[in-house]
């Protein structure tokens, strides 16, 4: 190589290093510095773009009109229509992997305060947000970008703040102190969503036919013990920020993926963006004010031995308005072994999944670029 070519190569590498450094600071930082085109690092291959027509998998890239997910009126679970609501819940978990919960008991103030304080956090100067940047996936607080910025070959149009929530007494001292009311409002939200998660778990387990004797007057004494691992389980809160994008057809807020936990409770603002894969088509979820979108996670699919389905979903961005969502991901304790519930395994429905745990998931996503449902697929048994 000639000296001139070597100089050009070194300069090119230096430019790439500068750009990579900028990308690691997050997409909001890029936007704050003024861009009118999507940088190459964020441009997805043609086949993965929002409106792509992939000839190998054409149906997976067809976007359909808005989808009204099954609606579970939580207040009805406490009345005479409980059995009917449980049946609707079962159908939603089997056929959609998603449902929306209304009349859930969490006040509008708690919800609106969480959206408001999250918006104010991402409005802080980069120097303040960057205090929480970390590549440690086990950190109690982590500010970052994309999906897994350590492994992603193409970045997502998304910044996030992840907060470990259980036990609160252990993790709370690490949470952001700005905005000044962050901890107060986020703690209130975390506690309320944990309580709602537990009530939904009770309904999920009853819909599977494996819990509920005590509640229904059957006199069983083991229900509390059955629920205790969920009460002591993990809770991770992820606040997502998707800035307005100058060329939204070239990128994604999040790529197709499933959630690794048991259940995810998602709070959205009024801006559309969430899509799920339903009947081999991408459909946009229509937000309902003050509701929660709840989805089946990989752990629940394993726990139910495949009866309830963890479903691929993704996030689109737009050119007009930024979008905020708050995902509360819940599962059993981090050290727990997740396996199909023995009561749901028999000759007609043999065991379909290997044992797994949280460390296996972390090891998997730390060693490769997460795609679609690859981790869950790695847990399946050959039948």
User: 7: domain CATH number?
Assistant: 2.60.120.330
Is there a domain that residue 50 lies in? yes
Q: How confident is residue 8, by pLDDT bands cut at 50, 70 and 90?
A: very low
Q: What is the pLDDT of residue 130?
A: 93
Is there a domain that residue 188 lies in? yes
Does 8 or 374 have the greater pLDDT score?
374
C-beta neighbour count of 374 within 10 angstroms: 14
On average, the pLDDT of the chain sits at 86
**pTM to 2 decimals?**
0.88
Is there a domain that residue 92 lies in? yes
What percent of the chain clears pLDDT 90, i.e. is strictly above it?
Answer: 68
Is there a domain that residue 47 lies in? yes
Q: How far is CA 26 from CA 16, 57, 103, 244, 269, in A?
A: 16, 31, 36, 14, 21
Among 120-134, 210-224, 270-284, whose mean pLDDT is lowest? 210-224
Range of the domain at 212: 3-378
C-beta neighbour count of 196 within 10 angstroms: 21
Q: What is the pLDDT of residue 61?
A: 42
pLDDT at 218 over 90: no
Angle at 313 between CA 369 and CA 364, to 5 degrees: 25
Number of folded domains in the chain? Answer: 1
pLDDT digits (tens, 9 = 90+) for 35-60: 999 999 999 999 899 986 443 333 33
Is there a domain that residue 383 lies in? no
pLDDT at 95 over 50: yes
pLDDT digits (tens, 9 = 90+) for 263-321: 999 999 999 999 999 988 899 998 899 999 999 999 999 999 999 999 999 999 999 99
Average pLDDT over residues 122-131: 96
Average pLDDT over residues 222-234: 84
């Amino acid at each position: 190589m000639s000296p001139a070519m070597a100089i050009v190569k070194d300069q090119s590498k230096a430019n790439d290093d500068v750009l990579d450094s900028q990308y690691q600071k997050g997409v909001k930082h890029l936007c704050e510095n003024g861009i009118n085109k999507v940088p190459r690092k964020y441009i997805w291959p043609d086949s993965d773009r929002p409106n792509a027509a992939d000839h190998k998998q054409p149906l997976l890239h067809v976007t359909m009109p808005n989808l009204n997910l099954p609606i579970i009126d939580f207040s009805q679970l406490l009345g005479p229509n409980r059995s009917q609501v449980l049946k609707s819940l079962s159908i939603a978990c089997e056929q959609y992997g998603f449902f929306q919960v209304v009349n859930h008991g969490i006040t509008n103030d708690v919800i609106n305060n969480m959206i408001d304080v999250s918006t104010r956090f991402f409005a802080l100067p980069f120097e303040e947000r960057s205090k929480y940047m970390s590549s440690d996936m086990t950190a109690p607080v982590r500010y970052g970008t994309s999906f897994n910025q350590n492994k992603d070959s193409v970045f997502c149009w998304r910044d996030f703040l992840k907060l470990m929530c259980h036990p609160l007494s252990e993790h709370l001292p690490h949470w952001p102190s700005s905005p000044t009311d962050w901890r107060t409002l986020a703690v209130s939200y975390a506690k309320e969503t944990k309580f709602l998660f537990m009530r939904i778990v009770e309904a999920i387990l009853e819909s599977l036919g494996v819990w509920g004797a005590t509640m229904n007057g059957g006199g069983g004494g083991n229900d509390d013990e059955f629920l205790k691992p969920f009460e002591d389980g993990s809770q991770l809160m992820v606040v997502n920020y998707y800035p307005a994008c100058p060329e939204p057809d070239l990128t994604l807020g999040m790529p197709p993926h499933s959630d690794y936990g048991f259940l995810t409770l998602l709070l959205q603002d009024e801006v559309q963006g969430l899509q799920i894969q339903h009947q081999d088509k991408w459909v946009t979820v229509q937000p309902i004010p003050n509701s929660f979108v709840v989805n089946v996670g990989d752990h629940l699919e394993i726990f139910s031995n495949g009866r309830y389905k963890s479903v691929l979903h993704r996030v689109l961005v737009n050119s007009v308005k930024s979008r905020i969502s708050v995902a509360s991901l819940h599962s059993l304790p981090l050290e727990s072994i997740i396996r199909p519930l023995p009561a749901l395994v028999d000759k007609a429905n043999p065991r379909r999944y290997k044992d797994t745990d949280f460390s296996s998931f972390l090891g998997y996503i730390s060693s490769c670029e997460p795609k679609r449902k690859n981790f869950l697929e790695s847990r399946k048994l050959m039948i």
